[in-house]
Amino acid sequence: MIETFGVFLRDAINNIKRNSVMSIASVLSVISALIIVGVVMAIAINVNYITDQVEDSLELKVYLEDNITDEQQKAIYDSINSMESVSDIKYQSKLDALNSFRETLGEDNSIIISGYNEDNSPLPAAYIVKFNEASEIENASKKINELDGVMDTVYGEDTVKALLSFNKFIHLATWIVLAILSLIAVFIIFNTVKLTVFSRRNEISIMKYIGATNTFIRFPFIIEGMLLGVFGACCSVLLLRNLYYFIVGALAGTTSVLPLGQSLAPADLVMKQISVVFVFYGIFLGTMGSAFSIKKFLNV
Residues that bind another protein (CB under 8 A): 3-4, 7, 18, 202-203, 205-214, 216, 300
Q: In the complex, what is the shortest distance from the CB of residue 213 to another protein, in angstroms, rounded to a whole number?
A: 5
Q: Say if CB 244 and CB 271 are below 8 A apart.
A: yes
Q: In the complex, what is the shortest distance from the CB of residue 210 to another protein, in angstroms, rounded to a whole number?
A: 5
CA dist 180 and 259 (Å) reads: 30
Closest CA to 190 of 285, 277, 284, 297: 285
Q: Which is nearer to another protein, 213 or 256 (CB)?
A: 213
Q: In the complex, what is the shortest distance from the CB of residue 5 to another protein, in angstroms, rounded to a whole number?
A: 11
Q: Which is nearer to another protein, 4 or 87 (CB)?
A: 4
DSSP H helices, 200-266, are: 201-210, 214-253
Can you say how many angstroms the Cα of residue 205 is from the centroid of all Cα atoms in its chain? 46
Q: In the complex, what is the shortest distance from the CB of residue 37 to another protein, in angstroms, rounded to a whole number?
A: 35
Closest CA to 52 of 242, 262, 239: 262
Q: Which is nearer to another protein, 18 or 90 (CB)?
A: 18
> 81-84 long-range CB contacts below 8 Å, 24 or more apart?
83/136, 83/140
Q: Which is nearer to another protein, 55 or 224 (CB)?
A: 224
Calculated CA dihedral for residues 135, 139, 142, 145, nearest 10 degrees: -80
Q: What is the DSSP letter of 260?
A: T
Q: Which is nearer to another protein, 15 or 167 (CB)?
A: 15
Per-position b or e across 23-42, b if 16+ CB within 10 A of its CB: bebbbebbbebbbbbbbbbb
Q: In the complex, what is the shortest distance from the CB of residue 209 to another protein, in angstroms, rounded to a whole number?
A: 5
Q: In the complex, what is the shortest distance from the CB of residue 207 to another protein, in angstroms, rounded to a whole number?
A: 5
Q: In the complex, what is the shortest distance from the CB of residue 198 to another protein, in angstroms, rounded to a whole number?
A: 15
Can you say how many angstroms the Cα of residue 90 is from the centroid of all Cα atoms in its chain? 30
Q: Which is nearer to another protein, 114 or 215 (CB)?
A: 215
Q: Which is nearer to another protein, 210 or 252 (CB)?
A: 210
CA dist 40 and 46 (Å) reads: 10
Residues 6+ apart with CB under 8 A from 152: 63, 145
Q: Which is nearer to another protein, 78 or 209 (CB)?
A: 209
Strand extents, DSSP E, the chain: 59-64, 86-92, 126-131, 150-155
Q: In the complex, what is the shortest distance from the CB of residue 22 to another protein, in angstroms, rounded to a whole number?
A: 13
CA dist 60 and 50 (Å) reads: 20
